């Protein structure tokens, strides 16, 4: 019933939000005599804020038209490579008429970015995609809004999520031979499960797994998100946050965890910051600071756009990841596409290098939660496992913003390049791509780059020392309170823990 009430309220507010937008434009038009009155700017700003608070936010587009590869503009064509009922595998195809650039593009590594299915659209990783397109062939999982999926397509479970990821990995392997996988936040758990199951079956696994800010072991440094899941029973979630999609959507009747409830939870974590941000937007309009006002619009156009999740997937994630901790306890069984029940065994992974990344101030996935994958993947040689942490960094900055572009990304590029596909001309390909990465990866001024500090981590008794690759980072969690572009860069030291236990200055 709550979903129907929300939709009714939204439908009633929509025309008033449109009127507020028209009024804001009316009072800000220099050709309108009313715009010359003393209070015109304040009235216009008030109506603009009313429009922002009352409008409906739809799925944004990625909007990536070009990227620079070695200072050459490369055109981007976005297309759906694989279309499944609940997800699209989206490719960002790069085009160039420069022969040297084209040759370079063909030799660059293939990366599958697994976006979160936790309330926001995959476009939240726009900055991640745009940055990685400089040096990689990029694919991303674009999860669909469950309220737009007809009931005839069936249910969507956590097991289906894992099977989807495996299908996408196999698809890229069939084209390129192999790929690299990057998972951000929520998908770190199902991606680890997907690769574990492939390894247990003896299938080819990705060259590398990069896990960024995810709840691998949600028992460590629990946040408010973890506490909610542990303090409420499975039955409470099923009875209080699951609703059926109203009749005016294609997925009418489907049981979902509504996006507006997830959004309410996001805002409730930092209500003061959001209130301050909206008030700052109002003041920026009065002052005529168009740049700051536009930055606010772009951030909240993304932040306020939410999607519904299928109830089965949502509830199973709560139980598996945040209540029973099945992954770390070794009790997680997954049903494959053919109906076979298989146990998730991360220790079976051997040929896939592992990089885990955390932020010290992450208020969604606490410190140590992602690093737990290092202990689970005991079959991966210690020389192929790395962990990176950035002091002072929050959650969203690990994949978006200045810290991502200037600190995290260059280190991630190096990690991927250190694990090339084993093909006939591996050496020549590696040299070509390395040149690309060094030329096109963002670089910070020497004084602005944080100092890399190695920190010892537990190691097996006979682990061999290996060549290490540092990486790091997330911007401050305060990004939601103001446009991310204004977040100051803290020249803090970056801690880089290496699982081989070798310490260097």
CATH class of 66-224+350-498: alpha beta
Mark out the alpha helices in 123-187 (DSSP H runs).
126-132, 158-176
> Whose CA is closest to 196, among 332, 321, 369, 316?
332
Please report the pLDDT score of residue 333 as a whole number.
98
Please report the pLDDT score of residue 454 as a whole number.
35
Convert 471-503 into a string of H (helix), E (strand) and C (coil).
Answer: CCCCCCHHHHHCCHHHCCCCCCCEEEEECCCCC
> Whose CA is closest to 295, among 484, 101, 94, 31?
484
> Whose CA is closest to 450, among 422, 483, 411, 501?
411
The crossing angle, in degrees rounded to 10, of helices 259-269 and 271-287 is 90
- Buried-state track 259-268, b at ≥16 Cβ within 10 A, e below 16: bbbbbeebee
Please report the pLDDT score of residue 440 as a whole number.
39
d(CA 278, CA 275): 5
pLDDT tens-place string over residues 131-156: 999 999 999 999 999 999 999 999 99
- Give residue limits of the domains in the chain: 66-224+350-498
pLDDT tens-place string over residues 299-317: 999 999 999 999 999 999 9
Please report the pLDDT score of residue 465 as a whole number.
42
The DSSP secondary structure of 299-355, one letter per residue, reads HHHHHT-B--EEHHHHHHHIIIIIIS-HHHHT--EEE-TTS-EEE--GGG--SSEEE
Please report the pLDDT score of residue 366 as a whole number.
87
Instruction: Name residues of the chain where pLDDT drops below 70.
Output: 422-505
Please report the pLDDT score of residue 464 as a whole number.
42
Please report the pLDDT score of residue 113 as a whole number.
98
Please report the pLDDT score of residue 189 as a whole number.
98
Which residues, listed in sequence order, are joined to residue 256 by a DSSP beta bridge? 243, 310
Strands 208-212 and 353-359: parallel
pTM, entire model: 0.82
Tokens of 388: 């990176």
d(CA 497, CA 457): 6
Please report the pLDDT score of residue 396 as a whole number.
86
Please report the pLDDT score of residue 447 as a whole number.
31
């Amino acid at each position: 019933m709550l979903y129907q009430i929300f939709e009714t309220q939204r439908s009633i507010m929509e025309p008033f939000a449109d009127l507020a937008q028209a009024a804001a434009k009316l009072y800000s038009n220099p050709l309108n005599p009313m715009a010359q009155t003393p209070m015109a700017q304040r009235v216009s700003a008030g109506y603009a804020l009313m429009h922002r608070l009352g409008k409906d936010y739809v799925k944004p587009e990625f909007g990536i038209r070009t990227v620079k590869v070695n200072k050459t503009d490369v055109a981007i064509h976005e297309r759906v490579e694989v279309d499944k009922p609940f997800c699209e595998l989206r490719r960002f195809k790069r085009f160039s008429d420069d022969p040297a650039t084209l040759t370079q593009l063909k030799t660059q590594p293939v990366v599958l970015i697994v976006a979160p299915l936790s309330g926001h659209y995959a476009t939240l990783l726009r900055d991640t995609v745009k940055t990685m397109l400089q040096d990689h062939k990029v694919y991303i999982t674009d999860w669909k809004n469950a309220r737009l999926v007809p009931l005839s397509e069936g249910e969507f479970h956590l097991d289906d999520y894992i099977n989807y990821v495996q299908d996408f990995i196999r698809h890229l392997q069939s084209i390129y031979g192999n790929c690299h996988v990057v998972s951000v936040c929520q998908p770190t758990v199902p991606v680890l499960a997907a690769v574990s199951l492939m390894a247990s079956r003896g299938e080819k696994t990705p060259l590398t797994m990069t896990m960024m800010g995810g709840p691998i072991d949600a028992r460590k440094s629990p946040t408010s998100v973890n506490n909610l899941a542990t303090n409420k029973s499975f039955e409470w979630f099923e009875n209080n946050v699951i609703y059926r999609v109203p009749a005016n959507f294609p997925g009418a009747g489907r049981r979902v965890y509504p996006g507006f409830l997830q959004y309410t939870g996001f805002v409730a974590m930092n209500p003061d910051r959001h209130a301050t941000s909206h008030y700052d937007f109002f003041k920026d309009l009065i002052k005529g600071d168009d740049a700051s006002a536009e930055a606010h619009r772009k951030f909240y156009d993304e932040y306020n756009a939410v999607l519904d999740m299928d109830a089965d997937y949502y509830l199973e994630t709560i139980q598996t990841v945040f209540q029973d901790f099945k992954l770390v306890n070794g009790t997680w069984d997954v049903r494959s596409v053919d109906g076979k029940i298989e146990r998730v065994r991360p220790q079976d992974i051997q040929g896939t290098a592992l990089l885990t990344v955390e932020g010290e101030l992450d208020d969604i996935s606490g410190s140590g939660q992602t690093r737990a994958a290092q202990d689970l993947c005991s079959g991966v040689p210690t020389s192929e496992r790395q962990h990176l942490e950035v002091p002072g960094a929050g959650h969203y900055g690990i994949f978006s913003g200045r810290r991502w572009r200037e600190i995290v990304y260059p280190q991630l590029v190096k990690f991927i390049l250190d694990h090339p596909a084993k093909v006939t001309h591996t050496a020549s390909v590696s040299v070509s791509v390395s040149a690309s990465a060094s030329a096109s990866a963002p670089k910070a001024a020497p004084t602005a780059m944080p100092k890399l500090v190695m920190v010892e981590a537990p190691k097996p008794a006979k682990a061999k020392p290996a060549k290490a690759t540092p990486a790091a980072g997330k911007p401050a969690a305060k990004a939601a309170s103001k446009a991310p572009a204004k977040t100051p860069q803290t020249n803090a030291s970056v801690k880089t823990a290496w699982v081989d236990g070798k310490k260097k200055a």
